[in-house]
A = this chain, B = another copy of it.
Amino acid sequence: MDIKNKGGRLTLPGEENFLKETIELMERWKADAIRDADGTELPEEVKDLDATIYTKYFVARGHNDFARENLNECQHFYLMSDRITATEDTLIIDFMSGYFDKQIKPDYDNDPKTWWEVIDRTTGEVVPVKDWEYDTENHTVKLNKAVPYHVYTLNFLAYAIWDPTQMYNYITNDWKGVERDIPFDIRYKKSWEYAKTALTKWLKENPKTDVVRFTTFFYHFTLVFNQLGLEKFVEWFGYTGSVSPEAILEFEKEYGYRLSPEDFVDEGYYNSIFRVPTKKFLDFMEFQQKFVTDRAKVLVDLVHEAGKKAIMFLGDNWIGTEPYGEYFKNIGLDGVAGSVGDGVTLRVISDIEGLEFTEGRFLPYFFPDTFYEGNDPCIEAVDNWTKARRALVRKPLDRIGYGGYPSLAYKFPKFIDYIEKVADEFREIHEKVENGKSYKSAKVAVLNAWGKIRTWMPYVVAHGKRYKLSYSYQGITEALSGMDVDVEFIDFNDIRNGIDESIDVIINAGDAYTAFSGGSEFLDPVVQENLRQFVYDGGGFIGVGEPSAYSKNGTFFQMSDVLGVDKEIGFSQSTNKYFMSEVESHFITKGIDEFDFGEGKDNIYALDEKTEILSYTNDQVNIAARDYGKGRSFYITGLPYSLKNTRLLKRAIHYVAHKEDELNVFYAEDYRVEVLGFTDRPEFAAINNSDELVQTKVYGKNKSFEITLQPSEMKWILED
């Protein structure tokens, strides 16, 4: 079985009573694989087709007979109660308030006096355990010596008694009679033994399966529901659901110190990706990565021993796998599959190294919410493909696929035609890019407190959801995902250890004090020194929003000297701000007639006349550029995703990298069009990212062409 080179590079979902049409679709779309979906099983007749058969597998859920008998091996959460203000010297904390008792069950088996923590949130101090009692009937904790008018919380250990993804589907689709999946923790010996045995048995029982798709391994990202069964908090990167007394004890042995409940609860922020990570949290992440990858390897080995391939779904129980972490490769996976909503979500998958193949599931799902009479599913398909294609041409997936019920899609012949075209275009792109040497105009590094491990993941809270504080930064990563630049994600140690000389431009973008702007990391003099020297010696620095922000030593943006702008936060209102004049024209904004800063930032001002102001409205600077030694900087107050903002960022990168002369190489004059060029072949592609007809001049390596592109068209041009 050679999946990677089998030909079709496309996976279809299978369905009962749909054999003839499945064969037809396989031929038209050149599908070479068929998969089952959540909640469905492939019929035997489909398994017998000449196709690679993917079958999903759950390791730590969906084995409820075992789980029910071993409830003390359930997975855990560390959770924080509501913040409760004492008004007298006794205080009752009803700590299950706001939690869903079908998901969360307080763990009284592990002594609460050892594993729980009451914190005075007015002082930040832990309340001595002797000063509180717990009540297992009412799920309350009573403080006997509360300080009136202090705010208190309880950090408590709870069992997770329902898998959150299943729960979400269950509640959303109002399922009846379906058993609730109880997640068990393979850190416990019995559970681990069971997991291995169950997989071994399953492999034997599924001889026709070629590819086992793990969904995923052990611990679900943080997803906790409220008392109404609605999402309470969600964090794609959260490790809250991977904790257990055993993990903490094991960690202590390995790292020499004990993690407290508060190390997980983190004031109620649960070590969100927006928090500058603590050393303790990074240690715990590493500890869990080692554990998860070790154990996952054992399961993958079983799959391989059974003569099958093993892939994982990037989602659900992916915690600890960390495809961009240093332990991931140890698992020995053959592939990774994931859902593609845009350029960034595509690159999250396609940039993973060391795999035989990556596979993206495209939209729309063949579900009735899109495939109903009177609706045109092509609209979503075109939009999804056009967004994803920008990124695909820079770093292709090896395979694409679809999900849902093919019988639904089959009722829309125009859609079937369109996907046939998409599939052909995908295979053409894959072939050319895999076998060519793509042109890159610059190397860009995105700097934040996470770096490589969060490659393509910055600014994300929950997958595919728009957040008010994030979208004005997500435009950067989305723009970069389809830009003709090499992109790296670096952290402050990468700055401290000496900036890689191959980097042309460093981008620092985010809200003040978050992991993305860097917060306290910028107080390290070495960070400041190395960054300034990088720019002074000729590097480019791009700041978005509140880059390098930390109010200290007389400045808010610690890189204000490099950026030439700072933010007035009140203290220097007494200093007159004289620099308000926009430059008449500038390389960066040439041809861009209007700006969208998204949420933007208030009260940005230029330091002096050496700062070039490119946009100034409402008494504040929105865009600025500045020379700094041999280098240059660029500042913009926000950059939500749009084709215009993508063009603005592309021009800014060329400007700060002193590569203005190289702009007209594999470039289109119209901002709606991007170009894929090669350094080793005379062919290039012009890609219309818009749904409009575009006439434009495009530049190849040496020549230019006047071309017309149909809406969303990708056109190959031979330059000789």
Contact = CB atoms under 8 A, between A and B. Distances in A.
Contact of A533 (B149, B274, B561): B149
Contacts of A552: 124
Nearest to A575: B233
A231 interface: yes
Given A513-B569, A555-B83, A561-B83, A574 B149 contact: no
Given A80-B554, A122-B528, A468-B620, 10 more contacts: A83-B554, A151-B555, A226-B576, A269-B571, A272-B573, A467-B573, A468-B568, A510-B570, A514-B569, A514-B570
A121 interface: yes
A11 B233 CA distance: 67
A101 interface: no
Contacts of A619: 468
B270 A574 contact: yes
A90 interface: no
A553 B267 contact: yes
Majority secondary structure, A binding face? loop
Interface in A267-319: 267-270, 272, 274-275
Contact of A551 (B122, B268, B513, B561): B513
Interface in A493-524: 510-514
Contacts of A171: none
A226 B577 CA distance: 12
A234 B574 CA distance: 5
Interface in A525-550: 525, 528-530, 532-533, 536
Q: How many copies does the complex hold?
A: 2
Contacts of A511: 569-570
A462 interface: yes
Nearest to A225: B576
A532 B83 CA distance: 14
Most buried by B among A147, A469, A629: A469
Nearest to A528: B122
A149 B274 contact: no
A43 interface: no
A529 B469 contact: no
A602 interface: yes
Contact of A153 (B468, B554, B576): B554
A478 interface: no
A599 interface: yes
A245 interface: no
Interface in A135-158: 147-151, 153
A149 B570 CA distance: 27
B533 A124 contact: no
